[in-house]
Amino acid sequence: MAINIFELQPNKVNCNLLGYSFLFYGDPKTGKTTIASKFPKALLLAFEKGYAAIPGIIAQPINSWSEFKKVLKQLKEEKAKELFETIILDTGDIAYDYDIKYVCDNAKRPDGGYGVDSIGDIPFGKGYALAEKEFDECLRSIVQMGYGLVIISHAVDKSITDADGTEYSRIMPTMDKRAVKIVSRMTDVIGYARPITQEDGTVSTKLFMRGNTRFMAGSRFKYTPDVIDFNYESLVNAIRDAIDKQAAEDGAELFSDGATKNIFEDTTKELNFDDLMAEFNSIVQKLIEQNDEQTFITQWQPKLTEIIEKYLGKGNKVNNCTRTQVEAISLIVEDLKELVKDK
């Protein structure tokens, strides 16, 4: 898909749960995985094997980060998109642990070998940066492919220190703080599940969808209620009601009950290295054929060099590029097409 800001259309908010991302965290046995399994065409990626009592669930056990990456590769296929609409990660905690191990196992040591015992053994904090990048890219690829995403975690009471030095406790997901940072900025709803004892002694699980200093929660939907009964029907109704109120305020034409454009779609996957190289060579060859040697050397070659070095650096050549530089090649080709369009 070519980039063209002149043909952009206003975003339409989807009025159902398709395509949104959620983080559910809370105490064990609060129904997080069970409720996630009721999302449309759900596939459970079971880093934690806690689905035996959930009837009918489609689950793929995951025992390493490499297995997770193999699943991501399969999710790109059209057959997978026909079968599944929602991907569940249970739990995000174990997923991040596997990510850390993967980075450690593949880290190059000073002696030339591979593998370190701890992420901290990778110098200058580079290990943590690599793990964060890997985790972020893999999770983001799920929403870029158009799937909804539900991430499950447990809850822990953590000690927090403010910028002014004030200490207080806050209930947070048990995931590593780096994973929490990645997940929290990616998800549309962060829900904290907790059993509440009623006045009559009965216990019901609530999902808190608005946070405070005591616990972490939040929603991108303006009119999301503070708390709901934690079941799938209540969640669907809460999101739908929030969207309906926003539609009444902003205009119904900006909302849709059907499929909407995937705003996270990775358009770089459409770049074909071989096609771009062929197009580059074709443009250059036409310039050579349409000009005498002196004109090409004095008028066109400096312009070509300027464009190439703008994206590749001084002295670098397009013909030496690798497939990882496909984005740079695409920019070079776009500039060349602009350069010769009136030629």
Q: pLDDT of 9-64, one tens digit each?
A: 665 555 556 778 999 999 988 999 999 999 999 999 999 888 888 999 999 999 99
DSSP designation for 273:
H
- Lowest average pLDDT, out of 5-14, 53-62, 180-189, 268-277, goes to 5-14
**Euclidean distance between CA atoms 94 and 251, whole angstroms:** 42
The pLDDT, as a whole number, for residue 263 is 44
Residues near 259 by Cβ (< 8 Å), separated by ≥ 6?
Answer: 14, 18
Reported in sequence order, the residue ranges of the chain that DSSP labels E, i.e. its strands, are 13-14, 21-26, 42-46, 59-61, 86-90, 148-161, 167-173, 189-197, 203-208, 218-219, 227-229, 255-256
Domain(s) labelled CATH 3.40.50 in the chain stretch across: 5-256
The pLDDT, as a whole number, for residue 122 is 86
Q: What does the mean pLDDT of the chain come to? A: 87
pLDDT tens figures, 134-147: 999 999 999 999 89
What is the distance of C-alpha 129 from the center of its chain?
Answer: 17
Confidence category of residue 252, pLDDT binned at 50, 70, 90: low
Residues near 240 by Cβ (< 8 Å), separated by ≥ 6?
Answer: 15, 16
Q: Is residue 65 scored above 50 in pLDDT?
A: yes
CATH number of 5-256: 3.40.50
Given a contact cutoff of 8 angstroms between Cβ atoms, the answer to whether 22 and 65 are in contact is no
Average pLDDT over residues 93-104: 94
Residues β-bridged to residue 88: 44, 150
**Euclidean distance between CA atoms 169 and 203, whole angstroms:** 25
Closest CA to 250 of 219, 210, 223: 223
**Euclidean distance between CA atoms 311 and 327, whole angstroms:** 10
Q: Tell me the percentage of the chain whose pLDDT exceeds 70.
A: 88
**Euclidean distance between CA atoms 46 and 53, whole angstroms:** 13
